Chain A
Amino acid sequence: MSTETENPNADDTSEVESPPKPVVKKPEIVPVVIPAFEKSISDKIVEKFGDKVEVGFVKEDRVRINVGRENVHDVAEFIRDGLNYDHVESVSGVDYPQDNEIEVVYHIGSYDDSSLARQILVLATRAQRETNPIPGNDATRLPTLRDVFYSVEFHEREVFEMFGVFFEGHPDNRRLLLPEDWADLPPLRKDFTIKGR
């Protein structure tokens, strides 16, 4: 072994340059463009109701309005008469145990007004949540929108049995999907857990 030949391994450990670090591209911040037509819809509602309503978001084709339970009926009437929305596509409950509230979300659309055909207006309101629910006989209550939008009839019945939100003024607050003798918690609440999970 001559001194000329160098052990490549020994050399590498001492003098090799560290490879250049990959350049991390920072995501470009795209300015949020608020679509004009959707903005005009939310503006009309804010103009009418002032600080009783809160605009959740204004996205492409979707406008979300949060409203307290005492004003939800008035806002819904304005949405039907003033903004030409005519049917409710979906009524969803969302349980928030940490806030002690249950959110009920109405997705409202329009068939008659062709300019609103793409639009969905999301109307969200919240009901007080009871830890030990007695569906129909506790404080978890909301005013019904059935007299404003006929199409919510079965949807509200479903929210009643799945979350225990009683709709005051609904003509037919019976069970729909669950068996008549269901005696457990309303099943879509977060504290109703699936066995083994």
Chain B
Amino acid sequence: MTFKLPPGLALQKVDERIMTLNVGPQHPGSGHMRLIVQIDGDYIVACDPDPGYVHRGEEKMAEYRNYILNIPHLERPVIHDSCNVLYPYVLGAEEIIGIEVSERAKYVRVIASELNRCIYIMYWLAIYGIFLGHSTMFMWPAGDRELLIDLMEKITGARVTHAYFVPGGVRNDLPPNFEDVCLRQVNYFEKRIKEYAAIFYDNPILIARTRDTGVLSRQDAIRYGTTGSVLRASGVDYDLRVKEPYDVYEELDVHTNVMKEGDSYARSKIPWLDMLESCNIIRQALQKIPKSGSVRTKLKPNPKGKGLDSVYKRVESGRGSLGCYIVSDGKVEPYRVKLSVPSFRNLIALPNLLRGEKLGNMPSVYWSLNYWPVEADR
């Protein structure tokens, strides 16, 4: 047969010693994603991630809807972190439409996005716990997460999919007496997550399973272009809230958590430290927020871009830097919306981390990447 296979369908000959194993897409250890793993005995020789099982064409849909109608569907990739996913899109749309945001709205956004960051990390921590066989670590974060979900429900009216940020501010103001309730809940939440150290992070079994597995060196973390907790666990001091502060992060005191080890343990501890930092930021923001004022600048019904224009905005989400590239041609719909998501960027590290690891270490390495399959597929 002279039929030429298109690039991408060429078959790979596998050695007799080496077995190919499909992990996923229905396997709970990989999320909605397939990992094609080649193993020699108990050791992983090669790993080929195959995402795309939850690809929903968000970027294509965004070309058909105007700047406001895009809001409810662009937050779907990560519903637990929906404020942070929308954040760069909203910042970009504001620049394209040309609209100012009031000071109070900026503080409300910071509070909402920090609450959302904690909600996301708690969900991730619950999954990380259960895949390491630690049932208590599944129950506790899943329960304590409710505290913050209740707060977000008070602000936005929805438990997970908020659609709260709009170009020009936020959808509605904080409820009356919110500052006191929020402060009380956040203080309790902080006290509660500090207890996780004793049961999880100082647990000798967890340390034995995650120390020195999947080590990512500082040099490689930079070369692969990883971001967020993966990058900071490898000793790179980079957090967009400090390096390129957006909205009012400039006025807040944000501390960047950095660890040098670069192993699964460090990658799983950084998000937990981030939650403690988020509690600090929320308390600062609650003190500094202007007590009154508008939270939403009025928009025309069908806002248009100013002409040929392109913006690239990025924020620090629960998983790392999240960018949004918007191209406008002066119509009511954006010409192109591209989400540059942290999960997709961190995925490139996975084959390199798993090479040479034991198969049993795969879940701990995979989930330590803070990977969210739906976000990577978009």
Contact = CB atoms under 8 A, between A and B. Distances in A.
B59 interface: yes
Contact of A122 (B60, B244, B312): B312
A117 B243 contact: yes
Interface string A86-105: 11111010110000000001
Given A62-B312, A105-B325, A187 B225 contact: no
Interface in A140-173: 149-151, 153-155, 158, 166, 173
A180 B9 CA distance: 8
Interface in A165-197: 166, 173-180, 187-188, 192, 194, 197
B178 interface: no
Consensus secondary structure, chain B interface: mixed
Contact of B225 (A89, A166, A178, A180): A89
B366 to A, nearest CB: 16
B223 A90 contact: no
Contact of B312 (A86, A120, A177, A187): A120
B6 A92 contact: no
B108 interface: no
A6 B349 CA distance: 89
B244 A90 contact: no
A155 B310 CA distance: 19
Contacts of B244: 61, 117-118
Contacts of A158: 344
Nearest to A189: B60
A176 B7 CA distance: 12
Nearest to B9: A180
A107 interface: yes
Nearest to A174: B8
A151 B345 contact: yes
A87 B225 contact: yes
Contacts of A118: 243-244
B222 A111 contact: yes
B55 interface: yes
Range of interface residues on A (Cβ < 8 Å) = 35 or more
Interface residues of B, number: 40
B348 A151 contact: yes
Query: Residue among A90, A112, A117, A175 with the most chain B CB within 10 A?
Result: A90
A14 interface: no
A133 interface: no
B236 A173 contact: no
Contacts of B9: 174, 180
A68 interface: no
A178 B60 contact: no
A135 B18 CA distance: 32
B314 to A, nearest CB: 7
A61 B91 CA distance: 15
Nearest to B61: A194
A79 to B, nearest CB: 14
B325 A107 contact: yes
Nearest to B244: A118
A158 B336 CA distance: 15
B325 A154 contact: no
Contacts of A61: 244
B314 A89 contact: yes
B340 A89 contact: yes
Given A151-B345, A153-B348, A89 B64 contact: no
B327 A94 contact: yes
A175 B9 CA distance: 9
A99 B64 CA distance: 21
Q: Which of B231, B236, B340, B378 has the most CB of A within 10 A?
A: B340
A111 B231 contact: yes
Nearest to A173: B7
Interface in A115-145: 117-118, 120, 122, 135-137
Given A61-B244, A117-B243, A151-B345, A90 B338 contact: yes
Nearest to B245: A118
A189 to B, nearest CB: 10
Sort A-B residue pairs by CB-CB distance and give the 3 closest, nearest first: A151-B225, A90-B340, A87-B225
Interface of A: 61-62, 64, 86-90, 92, 94-95, 105, 107, 111-112, 117-118, 120, 122, 135-137, 149-151, 153-155, 158, 166, 173-180, 187-188, 192, 194, 197
Interface of B: 6-9, 50-52, 55, 57, 59-61, 64, 222-225, 227, 231, 236, 238, 243-244, 310, 312, 314, 321, 323, 325, 327, 335-336, 338, 340, 344-345, 347-348, 377-378
